[in-house]
Structure 1
Amino acid sequence: MLKSRIATALVIAPLTLTAVFFLSPQAFALFVALVVLMAAWEWTAMMRLVSRSQRTVYVLSVLFAIVLVQKLLPHYEKIIFLVAALWWLAATVLVVLYPRACALWCGRLSKGVVGFLVLVPTWAAIVYIRELSQGPWLIVYMFLIVWGADTGAYFAGKRFGKRKLMPRVSPAKSWAGIGGATVTVLLVSMFTQKHLYFSQDLSFGIYLLAMVLLFASVIGDLTESMFKRQCGIKDSGSILPGHGGIMDRIDSLTAAAPVFALCLILISQ
């Protein structure tokens, strides 16, 4: 399992970094849209859509929403990311209440709406951040935070993870994993702070931001785990050996990206 995870990561990481640093803005937006639409296809499985035509219609609906948001993004980016952040606050409540609040979101329509709230702002946030000064490096920082936290949590949880975090939602996650993730993101912020324009005047604020992004990434992960558990599936897909599906790889990012974009907007004001 670990070997396949590492092998897959060794393929994904160079491809992703190449896209971040070398694609034109239009090509990068298309690249991110393709990833999001693949995730949308997997999301339809959690909606329990069986018909290929139904699944295709949902994916096309997400594409239409992306096109619409692209038109709105230059003028309403703060509102878009604020709505996304409010959704993730609501998701936190749903995760804490699981399974008592299942009735609020277990229907196909509800899950479909949630899919839009999860996926479309992810596309918007990554594209928005890429266009900022130091945009590619800001995305690398975000990746280091999100996937560094995942790595730190994995190894700390394996070694010390006796006390479970939320066993009803995700039995594999532990408080020790959260500790490992916390250490990792703090170290990432410490080593990258002097290289990022937005953080040079934040002092200890960069560590607070790291904790906010860590919290968001954990909620993104737990939210997808909650939906998968309610559906009775282990992985969203099987396209990535050792990782599962696209959603399994970007679940933390779906929350962290719009929250990070909102924080960058607020910091710059």
Structure 2
Amino acid sequence: MLKSRIATALVIAPLTLAAVFFLPPQAFALIMALIVLMAAWEWTAMMRLVSRSARTVYMLSVLFAIVVAQKVLPYYEQIIFAVAALWWLAATVLVMLYPRACALWCGRVSKGIVGFLVLVPTWAAMVYIRELDQGPWLIVYMFLMVWGADTGAYFAGKRFGKRKLMPHVSPAKSWAGIGGAALAVLLVSMITQQYLHFSQNLSFGIYILALVLLFVSVVGDLTESMFKRQCGIKDSGSILPGHGGIMDRIDSLTAAAPVFALCLILFGT
């Protein structure tokens, strides 16, 4: 499992970095849209949509929302990311109340709405950050935060993870894993801060930002785990050996990207 996970990461990481640094803006936006649409297809499994036509209609609806977002993003980016941040605050509560609050979101319509709140702002955030002056490097910083947290949590959890974080949602996650993830993101921030020209406000609070991104990335991971557990599936898909589906790979990013974009708007780069 670990070997296939590492092998897949060694393929995905260079391709992702090449897209971030070398693709023109429109091509990058298109690639991000394709990734989000694949994730939307997987999301339909968590909605318990069976027919291919129904799943296709939902995926096309997400595509339409992306097209609309592309038109309004230059004027309403702060609103889009603020709405996403509010959703992730609500998701935190839902995860903490699982399974008692299932009735609030377990219907197909509710899950469909959540899918829009999860996926469309992710696309918008990636495109917005990419077009900033330091856009590619800011995306790399965010990736390092998310991947570093995932790696730190994995190894710390394996070694010390006796006390579980939320066993009803994700039995594999532990408090020791959270500690390892926190150390990883703080280390990433300490190393990268000198290379990224953050504004004075953001530079002063870079470690707070790291912990905020860690928090929301964990919530993103737990939220997808909650949805999968409710509908009885282990992985969102099988396209990525060792990782599962696209949603399994980007679940943390769906929360981290719009929150990071909102922080960049509020505090500057």
TM-score (norm: length of structure 2): 0.99
- The verdict on how the C-alpha distance between 1:60 and 1:150 changes in structure 2, with shifts beyond 3 A counting, is same
Q: After the TM superposition, which residues 84-163 of structure 1 pair with which residues of structure 2 at under 5 Å, given as runs?
A: 84-163=84-163
Q: After the TM superposition, which residues 1-269 of structure 1 pair with which residues of structure 2 at under 5 Å, given as runs?
A: 1-198=1-198, 202-268=202-268
Letter in 1 for 2:266: L
Aligned length: 269
Q: Give the superposition deviation at 1:248.
A: 0.1
**Percent of counterpart pairs with the same letter?**
87
Q: Output one character per residue of 1:133-156: Cα deviation in whole Å (capped at 9) or x when no partner.
A: 110000000000001100100000
Q: Give the superposition deviation at 1:198.
A: 1.5
* Contact 1:217/1:255, CA 8 A, preserved across alignment: yes
* Contact 1:193/1:200, CA 8 A, preserved across alignment: no
Letter in 1 for 2:232: G
Q: Give the superposition deviation at 1:194.
A: 1.0
In the aligned structure 2, how far is the partner of 1:7 from the partner of 1:98?
34
- The verdict on how the C-alpha distance between 1:199 and 1:162 changes in structure 2, with shifts beyond 3 A counting, is farther
Q: Output one character per residue of 1:11-55: Cα deviation in whole Å (capped at 9) or x when no partner.
A: 000110000000000000000000000000000000000000000
RMSD: 1.0
* Contact 2:141/2:192, CA 8 A, preserved across alignment: yes
* Contact 1:193/1:199, CA 8 A, preserved across alignment: no
Letter in 2 for 1:136: P
| SS of match in other structure, 1:198 | coil
- The verdict on how the C-alpha distance between 1:203 and 1:116 changes in structure 2, with shifts beyond 3 A counting, is closer
* Contact 1:156/1:176, CA 8 A, preserved across alignment: yes
In the aligned structure 2, how far is the partner of 1:230 from the partner of 1:5?
25
Q: Which runs of 5+ in 1 are unaligned?
A: none
Q: Output one character per residue of 1:72-124: Cα deviation in whole Å (capped at 9) or x when no partner.
A: 10000000000000000000000000000000000000000000000000000
| SS of match in other structure, 1:195 | coil
